Structure 1
Amino acid sequence: MTIYSLYIFDRHCNCVYYQDWHRTVRPKTAVEGGMLPAVYAPVYPAANPDSLYGNRNTLSSSSGVVVAVNDEQPHTPLPTQTHSPIAPLPTPPTSSLPFDEEAKLVYGVVLSLRNMIKKLSGKDEQFVNYQTSTYKLHLYETLSGFKFVMLSDPNADSLRFVLRQIYSGPFLEYVVRNPLVGMDSRERGIDNEYFRMSTDRLIRGLTVFQ
């Protein structure tokens, strides 16, 4: 048994956070404008490399002051490789869907099943998980409209309590109580280093995680 991935959606139906662990197929880069920034950096479309790494010019054109000069320094040649090169690691396959489309499908499944259960069983029943032959989807929804969705091995028990732990622990500590995180914004995700590290530590400490 294992855990594959975690999605968090806000009340505007936007995916505001994503994290994965034992995923065998890498998520594909989202199309430009298809996802919010600060959701998951590896799949965010980078239109301009300077926007990720900053302006790399070493000469200020306005003042003429040289910030750093290294081009004229002699470079030490790389050592000649005398042994056979190590075979590169195989690249894991990539999903055929862009990440933004994948997130929409996950949210659409959750919304459809949630509405169907409410219509068939009444307001007292809640949709908490469903299982297929390859994965199991778990849902925890907060009163403020955030939906925590986790995909796991189909043989895993209900992980709703884990999603509740993520909400009551790292989410409240590093997102809700963080004045720098906009909780009702359609412009940016909620990713930050402390929340991601705390969530990762919580998941890896579970007995279901392998």
Structure 2
Amino acid sequence: MTIFSLYIFDRHCECIYYQDWHRTRSARPPPPPSFKAGVHRLPPPSSQAQHGNDNTTTTGRESIFSDNNNRSSLQSQINGGGSGGGMNGLGSGVGGSSTRGPKGLPFDEEAKLVYGVILSLRNMVKKLSGREEAFTSYSTSQYKLHLYETITGYKFVLLSDPSSDSLRFVLRQLYVGPFVDYVVRNPLVVMDSREEGIDNDQFRAAVDRHMRGLSMFGT
């Protein structure tokens, strides 16, 4: 089994943290106006790249649910709409074959798609099954999405190998451990900021150690 990437969203639907391990192709930096410091370690884009030739478009969070192919839509749009190469965007191995730099959606649009999926599926589960049921995961042929939501509204999202069991407990461990220790209890971290993420070196290192220590981490 393999772990691909981790997203953390705050109560305002903003992605405040991102880290990946086994993507074959790096995430694409967002354009300068959308670049939020502290969320990820992607290089800041140049202003020239902002005006470059980019044929990738998206029509918002709700648009990916316009048909019954919502799950494959997430995969397709993150991968840049390509038809080959499996999970080119999320990747199942180290070291991609592409040497032309990151393709596909910019990171900010990718994060919106991920959040759109969990929001819509969570609402659908509540409407179909009642409020006692909770959306925790879903699988496609190429990845599995795991969700852990805290009482304070933070959403921890993990993408892994589709063959993995539920990793919700891993997300809970990240919340009660590194997140509480290095984010919640850290007076230097600004919570609920619309301008920056919650990243710091201790938190990122703790998350990395925790993930690499799991038997299902993969190589």
User: How many angstroms does 1:25 deviate by?
Assistant: 1.8
> Is residue 193 from structure 1 mapped to residue 217 from structure 2 by the alignment?
no
Given residue 10 of structure 1, which amino acid in structure 2 is its aligned partner?
D
Q: Distance in 2 between matches of 1:120 and 1:90?
A: 42
* Conserved? CA contact 1:27–1:43, under 8 Å: no
User: How many angstroms does 1:180 deviate by?
Assistant: 0.7
User: How many angstroms does 1:91 deviate by?
Assistant: 3.2
For each residue in 1:86-120, what CA deviation from the matched residue of structure 2 results, as whole angstroms up to 9, or x when unmatched? xxx97386231101000000000010000000111
Identity among equivalent pairs (%): 63
Gaps of 5+ in 2: 48-96
Flag the 1:90–1:33 CA change in 2: closer, same or farther, 3 A: closer
Q: Who is 1:143 aligned against?
A: 151
Structure 1 moving runs of 4+ over 2 Å: 43-47, 89-95
Q: Who is 2:27 aligned against?
A: 27
Give me the TM-score of the superposition, normalised by structure 1: 0.77
Secondary structure of 1:19's partner? Answer: strand
Between Structure 1 and Structure 2, the one with more strand by share is 1
Secondary structure of 1:26's partner? Answer: coil
Please list, as runs of the form range in 1=range in 2, the aligned pairs for 1:51-200 lying within 5 A after superposition.
Answer: 91=99, 94-200=102-208
Flag the 1:209–1:20 CA change in 2: closer, same or farther, 3 A: same
Give me the TM-score of the superposition, normalised by structure 2: 0.74
Q: Distance in 1 between matches of 2:43 and 2:181?
A: 26
* Conserved? CA contact 2:4–2:20, under 8 Å: yes
Q: Who is 1:75 aligned against?
A: none
Q: Who is 2:79 aligned against?
A: none
Flag the 1:121–1:44 CA change in 2: closer, same or farther, 3 A: farther
CA RMSD of aligned residues (A): 1.6
Q: Distance in 2 between matches of 1:43 and 1:110?
A: 27
Q: Distance in 2 between matches of 1:10 and 1:154?
A: 26
Structure 1 or 2, whichever has the larger Rg, is 1
Gaps of 5+ in 1: 48-88
Secondary structure of 2:45's partner? Answer: coil
Given residue 104 of structure 1, which amino acid in structure 2 is its aligned partner?
K
